[in-house]
Every structure is written in structure tokens, then in C-alpha cells.
Amino acid sequence: MITLPQSPGFRIEGQRAVVTGAGRGIGLALAAALAQAGAAVTLVARSADEVAAGADAIRAAGGVADHMVLDVSDLAAVADFFSARPAFHILVNNAGTNRPKPMTEVSEDDFDAVMGLNVKSVFFVAQACVRRMIAAPIKGSLIHIGSQMGHVGGRDRSLYCASKWAMEGMSKAMALDLAAHGIRSNTIAPTFIETPLTRPYFEDAAFKASVLAKIKLGRLGTVEDLMGAVVFLASNASALMTGTSLVIDGGWTAD
């Protein structure tokens, strides 16, 4: 009789996860996905009403969730948040921003806002989370939400591309630093995802047509397109993956 190998599976019961920027859109969807896979999820964002409503919805659906108001650009508050809680097994570094404009029009304020949230805050959120993981000790998973623009360039997105390329390099280096502790670091790099935040952009017919021309599968992404990826990277199904990126772009970067 042949003994068949057993799939490690995608369930993450008994694990604690934290998702930043979890009040709506992609962050809320990723929190829901982790809860549906069995994790106890903490939703954090600056918007108290949104994270409270998101946590309520997860609990109403049978999941385990709580919430906390947290501005991830406040590094002292970030340190306090992680030090006051048991170590998390999973971090989803989702909070981010964009100020699309030609590089000739980017201001110092634009630069500081985008690089501050997309790079500096991501780094120090990961650092605070990892310190608790190592002390526990916990073999955990860091999942940073990047972009296809961390793999290619884009018109009017020099600043955003800079931040997301930085995230890719940062995640790879973190993976090397943390491998000995059994902590993995990967990114998810989506194409344009239709959310309440991005929907106004697509009211410009020419812009929408230019986007769809590059997405070879012929449609905008949805938050549901990212939910399987986050569960995969959080679970033992991806146990040998670290320092890499899941590019979910409908073929954009293949051309």
C-alpha cells in the first residue's frame, strides 16, 4: 500500500492575525479571509467606526475578531500596540496610500506622505510585530500588500512605484534576517482592484480603458481575488515560501 503525502492545508485555527488598514476595501477582505480560515483577527485602522463594523461583521459570520484604532504612522503607538498584546502569528501589512501625478509635480509633502506610510510605517510595524514573535517564540508569517507597480513602472506613479519597489526589497531582506527564527516574509502584488477608494478613478473612461488594455484577463481585480492569496501565505501551504511575491495582476507584468 502506497502512503500518500498529506496536504498541509489552508486552515489556521489557533493563530492570531493582525491586519492594518482593515476598515474597508482590501484590508477588510483580507481580515475576513483569515477569519474564515480559522484565525482570530485583530482589525486596526485610524477609522474607529469602520474597524468596529468590520469586526462586528466577522463575528456575525461566525468568526473571531476584535478591533483597535491605530495610526500606523505613530511609531510610539505602534510599539505600545504590539507590546500590550500576545504575539501575533500573522501580520498583514496593508495600510498604504497613493498620490498619482507626474514626477515633475510631486512635492516634498507628497513624497513624505507616500514613503512615510508605504515604507517607513510598514517597516516599523513589521519590526514591532517580529520582536514579539521572536520573544514568544512564534514561527510566523509577514504578508506585505504591495502592488504590480513594485515590479514595473507606471505613468504618473513614480512615487508610488518607488515605495512599492522599496517594499519588495525590504521584504526580501527581512526574509533573510528572520529565516533562522522561522518567520517568513512575502508580498502580495495586485493589479488595479476595484474598491470604494479606487472606483472614482474608473469613472474616467479613457483611464479605465488603458488599464483594461494591460490586464490580459480583461477585467479589474476584486477584493475576492486576493483572499485566497493571503490565506495561502498565512498557512502551512506556503511553508517553504519566503522572500518572494505573489503577483496577482491578470497578466499585466507578463507582457
d(C-alpha 70, C-alpha 45), whole Å: 5
Chain centre to alpha carbon of residue 213: 26
- Other CB atoms within 10 A of residue 207 CB: 13
Q: Answer whether 62's CB lies under 8 Å from 47's CB.
A: no
Place of cell 488594455: 213
Instruction: Let me know if 194 is exposed, middle or buried by CB neighbors in 10 A (0-12, 13-18, 19+).
Output: middle
76-92 burial, b for 16+ CB within 10 Å, e for fewer? eebeebbeeeebbbbbb
Nearest Cα residue to 146 out of 48, 28, 226, 65: 226
Q: What number of other Cβ atoms are within 10 A of residue 121's Cβ?
A: 23
Q: Which three cell numbers stand for residue 34?
A: 483569515
Three-state secondary structure call for residue 22: coil
- The answer to whether 160 is a known catalytic residue is yes
Reduced to 3 states, what is the DSSP secondary structure of residue 146?
A: coil
| Residue tagged active-site, from 160, 165, 232, 252 | 160
Q: Which of 60, 42, 59 is nearest to 51 (CA)?
A: 42
Catalytic residues: 160
